[in-house]
Structure 1
Amino acid sequence: MSFIYKIANQPSEFEQIIELNYRTFVEEIPQHEENDSRTLIDKFHEENTYIICLKGERVIGMICVRSNRPFSLDSKIGNVENHLPVEVENPCEVRLLAVDAAYRNGRAFLGLVQALIRFCLKLGYDAALISGTTREQKLYEQMGFKPFAYLTGNEDAAFQPMYLTKETFDAGIAGRLLKEQVNFLPGPATIAAEVSQGLSTVPYSHRSKEYESKLKLVKEQLKSLVNARHVQLLHGTGTLANDVIAGQLRQLGGRGLILVNGEFGERLVNHAERFGLLFDTIEVEWGTTFLEEEVKATLTQGNYEWMWAVHCETSTGVLNDIDMLKEACKEYGLKLSIDCISSIGAVPIDLEGVSFASGVSGKALASYTGLSFVFHDEVVKPANNLPRYLDLGAYSAADGIPYSQSSNLLNALAGALKRYKNPDIVYKQIANRHRFIRNGLEEAGLTVLSKEQYSVPAIMTVVLPVSQSAKHLGDNLYLNGFSLHYESSYLQQKNWIQISCMNDVGEKDMKKMLRTLKGLCNMHNEASVR
């Protein structure tokens, strides 16, 4: 069985921690007095966060992190900042690094240090400080720790103050062996080399012919990808694009209908409220989709001018039926607007007959966050009653360049769109990853929220039992090198965790993520039973 790294939170784990602490710092390194219980509780135990290495249910290694001042080192050498050769703003102290004698082949130690650096970076620490036993000083230095100040302790247990930063870690063995986090997030995307090269080019003027030519090419590629007649690029996130659409719906006037089956449907409602739009809603349970007969029944009863819905409801993994909505709007004479932020580049889309649709550069298209798009079916004229930055007509009238724009973001997007010369290949890859991961989750006994027949291949939502924290699970997966989506407030409220299939992740990494996820869940379940 592989080692699994996690933050200790179970009684059995803490019992093993104080036993390992005793074996290491009493029996092996004579730093404390012996006792009959053969356990050692650290004086900062209640303040410590313990990162542990598990083999099965056995704690075979540990390291603890504490940021409260004064540090243990402060009491030994005075204020540590007075001795450090580098400036630090948010340090933490790392203590009690111990690995069971049977597992000191370096692998568990290496994994603990790598988990430590992930933990510190995630919490914003810029330096980790230790009192390293001189017996293992060479090993610490190989991991990136650098000595400073002077020895503490005594002849039997001498300790060298040491520090670790991101720079010294990268230069050490652990840093060189540390893989990038495997990205299962719906954004930011994993960036390909040609995309990052586009971002790093020397900026050029948005008023130049070079920019005009590149923008025209990108717009043609985007329109071709989704079969749209017009598109405008905006410098901002999908929230900006949906605000722009809300402004156009206000220009239409009349009452509209907003479809809600998740967080992002609710956000459309909020956009509409902020623009003072008149509207009704159809709301169904999160994780389900809209039935054609219910939509048409509502349209029959009301006098509506427009409809607004989310295509891929990212919060649940549901793919709403855009063709059904287009047909319903055509039958009842409504203008249809669609939030395609998480579906563009992930699944085939046909925007023919859609009045407005939003998209972004930083999700399935796998470019940098910072550009959004509004597709429109008809030519839009400027409107002086809209804020300048939200006036879609102003973009259209200026051939897409009404204000200052970034050539770097445009070049990056152009690089990302190159892989869509044959989009079906990309869609198939995403669908294959979805099928592989979903099968693995179901085989592990985990529940995917959305039924398969209306699930989007780009992302899936995993429903966890009340007894298991999505945040704890997500944090522990991160320590093991896997970035999943769990930190949004709506996910934590519902205790859900999400796995995106948008990024190019190989089968080996998918298998390892599923194995680690299953192992962490099983550990929790067994602990709950006990």
Structure 2
Amino acid sequence: MTASPYSFPATSETGDPLLLTPGPLTTSRTVKAAMVHDWGSRDANFIEINRSVLTRLAGIANGAGDWVTVPMQGSGTFAVEAMLTTFVPADGEVLLLINGAYGKRAKRILEIAGRRTVVHETAEDTPPDLAEVEALLASQPSITHLFTVHCETTSGILNPIAQIGALAARYGKRYLVDSMSAFGALPIDVRAMHIDAVAASSNKCIEGVPGLGFVICRRDALARCAGNATTLVLDLHDQCTNLEKTSQYRFTPPTHVIVAFHQALDEFDAEGGVAGRGGRYRRNCRILLDGMRALGFRPLLAADLQAPIIVTFHMPDDPHFVFSRFYESLKARGFVIYPGKLTVADSFRIGCIGRIGETEMRAALAAIAEVLEEMGVAGLVEKTA
């Protein structure tokens, strides 16, 4: 085997392991540095930073003016639960399009909240069948809302949110989208896609740190949600009303996270917004797929279904390949990957997002090749003999 041009362990610019995951992910030194100062939540400077963050997020989704960004302290799932339990009233019924763990999580949220659901479920490597979705909408007028996941990170599949939105509009349904791992890297247009609310978080493609979820809501739709929420903390209507009246969060905001997110948005804009950020991730994904295929790995998804966020690979059919050893050996070389989350196949996942580019992706591939040779995996030995 040719010696690798990369030295291991590989690290980020701050010396941390590189996180090849769907978030939390590797962040820039300047995003981290933004958190070294303390901020009062009622301080005028912090209030202006927070206002800027919320305004810019709505703009990324082409929602300026008619949509409002409502922040929610906590992880992305806090934002998804806030969206579902605020927008779906007690007598509502949600058509859930499920092809992975995050669609199933939405179903569990609605069940706990006592909301009725109808499920259209496909395998984790299969997008929703739009003809079947339309048939459900046509045959069950009791459905009030339609929910889907933009990029289902269980597999990395890209779901057709624009076509689903067209169906929601045709049948007069409210449309709710979980764009957690795609927002900022893949285009989303709340106007053109007829989206009433979309949930995402700070620690994904904008490359901030964990701690703040947010929901970009159609103003007139949110205005009709007063009294729907099943919890005090996750009430988007109440949170929005209080913010607009007082500029204050109802409960302590994650000030350091928000200031870091503001810095991350500056860096996102400097890279060219969705086009620039998504372009880098697509290059990362292409390098990863080409390199892993050359090493004998087989991706789960067809190219037209693969989002440039995280890639799922089948486990090699080789008795020498032990995932726990593979994982720990890569971690020792400075790369953290993800175990699989599929029911359809034994697999593992490698992310393409975060403050990483071509150099880091090629270094990761070199580390993978080194580990496979060390393990004596036949596919690599045959290719490099």
> TM-score per shorter chain, which class?
0.7 to 0.9
Equivalent residue number for residue 393 of structure 1: 237
Residue number among 307, 316, 322 corresponding to 2:155 in the alignment: 316
Gap regions ≥5 residues in structure 2 = none
Aligned pair in 2 of structure 1 residues 248, 425: CA closer, same or farther (>3 Å)? Answer: same
Equivalent residue number for residue 508 of structure 1: 359
Aligned pair in 2 of structure 1 residues 315, 480: CA closer, same or farther (>3 Å)? Answer: same
Pairing of 1:118-197 with structure 2 (within 5 A): 180-197=16-33
Equivalent residue number for residue 347 of structure 1: 186
Amino acid at match of 1:439: D
Equivalent residue number for residue 333 of structure 1: 172
Give the C-alpha shift of residue 431 in structure 1: 0.9
Residue number among 91, 103, 107 corresponding to 1:269 in the alignment: 107
Contact 1:474 1:497 in 2 (8 A): no
Please tell me whether Structure 1 or Structure 2 has the larger radius of gyration of its CA atoms: 1
Amino acid at match of 2:324: K
SS of aligned partner of 1:389: coil
Gap regions ≥5 residues in structure 1 = 5-109, 119-177
Aligned pair in 2 of structure 1 residues 179, 413: CA closer, same or farther (>3 Å)? Answer: closer
Give the C-alpha shift of residue 250 in structure 1: 3.4
Give the C-alpha shift of residue 451 in structure 1: 1.1
Aligned pair in 2 of structure 1 residues 268, 202: CA closer, same or farther (>3 Å)? Answer: same
Contact 1:253 1:305 in 2 (8 A): no
Equivalent residue number for residue 200 of structure 2: 359
Equivalent residue number for residue 473 of structure 1: 326
For residues 373 and 361 of structure 1, what CA distance do their matches in structure 2 show?
8
Amino acid at match of 1:369: P
Give the C-alpha shift of residue 528 in structure 1: 12
Residue number among 280, 295, 300 corresponding to 1:444 in the alignment: 295
Equivalent residue number for residue 15 of structure 1: none
Aligned pair in 2 of structure 1 residues 525, 385: CA closer, same or farther (>3 Å)? Answer: closer
Q: Percent identity?
A: 23
When you count strand as a share of all residues, which structure comes out higher? 1
Give the C-alpha shift of residue 492 in structure 1: 9.7
Give the C-alpha shift of residue 312 in structure 1: 0.6
For residues 514 and 385 of structure 1, what CA distance do their matches in structure 2 show?
47
Count how many residue pairs are aligned between Structure 1 and Structure 2. Answer: 361
Give the C-alpha shift of residue 247 in structure 1: 1.1
**Residue-by-residue CA offset, 1:131-163 (whole Å, 9 max, x unaligned):** xxxxxxxxxxxxxxxxxxxxxxxxxxxxxxxxx
Residue number among 244, 248, 252 corresponding to 1:404 in the alignment: 252
Contact 2:199 2:216 in 1 (8 A): yes
Pairing of 1:108-123 with structure 2 (within 5 A): none
For residues 319 and 501 of structure 1, what CA distance do their matches in structure 2 show?
14
Equivalent residue number for residue 55 of structure 2: 220
Equivalent residue number for residue 46 of structure 2: 211
Aligned pair in 2 of structure 1 residues 370, 513: CA closer, same or farther (>3 Å)? Answer: same
Aligned pair in 2 of structure 1 residues 263, 506: CA closer, same or farther (>3 Å)? Answer: same
Contact 2:61 2:188 in 1 (8 A): yes
Give the C-alpha shift of residue 249 in structure 1: 3.8
Which protein, 1 or 2, shows the higher relative CO under an 8 Å CA cutoff with sep ≥ 6? 2
Residue number among 368, 377, 380 corresponding to 1:517 in the alignment: 368
Equivalent residue number for residue 49 of structure 1: none
Amino acid at match of 1:198: A
**Residue-by-residue CA offset, 1:224-252 (whole Å, 9 max, x unaligned):** 11123111111100111111122124326
SS of aligned partner of 1:447: coil
Equivalent residue number for residue 305 of structure 1: 144
SS of aligned partner of 2:126: coil
For residues 289 and 341 of structure 1, what CA distance do their matches in structure 2 show?
17
For residues 528 and 359 of structure 1, what CA distance do their matches in structure 2 show?
39
Amino acid at match of 2:377: N
SS of aligned partner of 1:232: strand
Equivalent residue number for residue 139 of structure 1: none
Residue number among 364, 369, 373 corresponding to 2:210 in the alignment: 369
SS of aligned partner of 1:257: strand
Give the C-alpha shift of residue 337 in structure 1: 0.6
Aligned pair in 2 of structure 1 residues 254, 520: CA closer, same or farther (>3 Å)? Answer: same
Contact 2:201 2:214 in 1 (8 A): yes
Give the C-alpha shift of residue 491 in structure 1: 5.6
For residues 384 and 281 of structure 1, what CA distance do their matches in structure 2 show?
22
Give the C-alpha shift of residue 255 in structure 1: 1.9
Contact 1:246 1:275 in 2 (8 A): no
For residues 292 and 380 of structure 2, what CA distance do their matches in structure 1 show?
20
Give the C-alpha shift of residue 336 in structure 1: 0.7
For residues 472 and 310 of structure 1, what CA distance do their matches in structure 2 show?
32
**Residue-by-residue CA offset, 1:437-471 (whole Å, 9 max, x unaligned):** 11111222211111111211111111113544333
Equivalent residue number for residue 103 of structure 1: none
For residues 90 and 160 of structure 2, what CA distance do their matches in structure 1 show?
24
Aligned pair in 2 of structure 1 residues 465, 328: CA closer, same or farther (>3 Å)? Answer: same
Amino acid at match of 1:355: D
Contact 2:314 2:347 in 1 (8 A): yes
SS of aligned partner of 2:311: strand
Give the C-alpha shift of residue 426 in structure 1: 1.3
For residues 327 and 225 of structure 1, what CA distance do their matches in structure 2 show?
20
SS of aligned partner of 1:307: strand
Pairwise CA RMSD: 2.9
Give the C-alpha shift of residue 332 in structure 1: 0.9
Give the C-alpha shift of residue 420 in structure 1: 2.7
Amino acid at match of 2:147: W
TM-score by length of 1: 0.63
Aligned pair in 2 of structure 1 residues 208, 269: CA closer, same or farther (>3 Å)? Answer: same
For residues 379 and 155 of structure 2, what CA distance do their matches in structure 1 show?
29
**Residue-by-residue CA offset, 1:283-307 (whole Å, 9 max, x unaligned):** 1111111232222122222221111
Amino acid at match of 1:190: T
